[in-house]
Structure 1
Amino acid sequence: MIAVGWAVVPRLFTAASPYEGDSDLSFAGPSLAHPFGTDRLGRDLFARAVYGAGTTLTATLVAVLIAFGVGTVIGLVAGYLGGAVDAATMRVIDVFLSIPSLLLAMVIVSVLGYSTDNIAIAVGISSIAAFARVMRAEVLTVASRDYVKAAYGVGVRRPAVVLRHVVPNSLNSVLALAALEVGTAILAVASLGFLGYGAPPPEPEWGLLVAEGRDYLAVHPYVSILPGLALALVVLSTHRISTSFRKDHAR
C-alpha cells in the first residue's frame, strides 16, 4: 500500500525534487533529511525512489493487463473451440513458454525501441502464454461440467453459455495468476530498466536507480542497496498478497 501511495501521491511522502540536486551534498549518507542518502549529483535518493514508483508500477500494471486480457481471450478461444484451433494455438503457446520471459521481453523491446512504455508492452507480451495456458485448462474443465451441458439441453445458445457460465467460472485461477504475476512483472520491468532498456536518465525508475549506483558500490553501497531493498520489499509484499488471494479463492 505504501508503494501505491508513492505512485499516486508522491508529494505526500517527500518534498524533495527527484531531478534537482545540490553538488555540495554529493554522496551524502543516509540521514533524517535524506533517508536514502544522495547520489553523485546530490539528488535525494528517497525522492527518486518515491517518484520512481509511479513509473515502475504503472508499467507493471499495463504489462499485467496486457497479459491478462490477451492471454484470457486466447485461452478461452482455444479451450472452447477445441480441435485444430486448440492444437495449433497450444503449439504456438508452447514455443513462447520455452523461451525465458526476460529474454523474450528484451528482444521485443529491442524491436520496439527503448522506453518504459515499450518495456510494459514487452513484459506483457512475454507473459501472455502463461495466462493462455491457465485459461484454456479452466475452460476445458468448466465446459465439461453438467450445468454447461444442461444449459445446452434447454436451448441456450453457445455465446450465452460462454458469457454466463464458462467465462465467470474460469476466471478464478486466472485472477490468482494475475495477482502472482504482479511481483514477477515488477522484477522484469526493473530488470530491463537496470539493463538500460527503459527510461533514460534523469527519469526516476527503480531499475535505473539501482544501475546508477553500481559503479560506487565499493565506497557508497547505499546508493544501490537502499533502492534495491525497497524494490525487494515491494515484490515480497505482492507475493504475500497474491498467496493470500489464491488461498481465498481455493476455499
Structure 2
Amino acid sequence: MTVSKWQEVSEPLQAEHDDVVIGAGIVGSYAATLLHQRGRDVALVDARFAASGASGRNAGFVLTSQRETYPTLIAQVGRPAAREILDMVLDNVARMRALAKQYEVPWEEGAIHLAETQADARELEEWARAFAADGVEVEFAHGDPYGAGYAASLQVEGDFMVQPARLTEAIAAASGATFYDHNEVYRIESEGQGLIVRGRRAHIRCRKVYIATNGYGCDMHPHLRRIVRPVRGQILITTPVEP
C-alpha cells in the first residue's frame, strides 16, 4: 500500500520478535500457533482485527475438495500428485474439526453437492467414483433429495460447516503470539541479517516474515504481484431449511 508523509513520520511502537506473521485470518493465526509451539517469539499482525477479511466472511464450509473436481485435478497433475494433495485436504478437514471441538466453536456435520443439469450429474458421478477409488467415503444419488429439480447429489464423509469468524478468533487468541491489530503494513525492509515490518502502529524487527494475507498478498511483496490476484466471491445465506 502507499502511505502519506505524515503517516510515515508518526511515532510507531518499536518492537522485536523472532518471526512476524502478517494476516490474522485462519491461515496466519494457525501459522502463528505452530511457530509458537516450536519455541519462536511470534508477532501476529493485522490491518484490522482477527478474522476481519475472508476468514470471517466466507460460507464456513470445510470440504474434501479443491477448486477443481478430483478427476480434473488428476488430469492436471497425475494421480500420485493428486492423491498427495487429497491427503493434505483430508488432514486439513480433520484438523479443522479438531480445532472447532477444542475451542467449542459451533459446527454442523454434513454438506451436499447438487447437480443442476445432467452434465453436472455426470461430473458429480465421476467425482464420486474417483474419490471412492482413493478410499474416500461418498454417497452419490441420481435425482433430487429436496424435490427442487436437481439432477443428482453427492455427499462426502467428513465434510462439515463451522462458524469461521469465531474459529479464527479463537485460534488467534490462543496462538501465543503478540497481536498487533489495526497495524496495516506498508513496507517490509531488509536490515542487516534481519527484516523490519513497518506498519501504521508498530515497526517490528524480526528474522523471518510469513505473509498470510490471501488476495492482498500482491500488496505485500513484489514477488507476489506475479502470482497472487484478488478474486471476489459471494455466498447466499437463507433461513434454515427443513431436512
Q: Taking structure 1 as the reference length, what is the TM-score of the superposition? A: 0.24
Q: Taking structure 2 as the reference length, what is the TM-score of the superposition? A: 0.25
The structure where strand makes up a greater share of residues is: 2
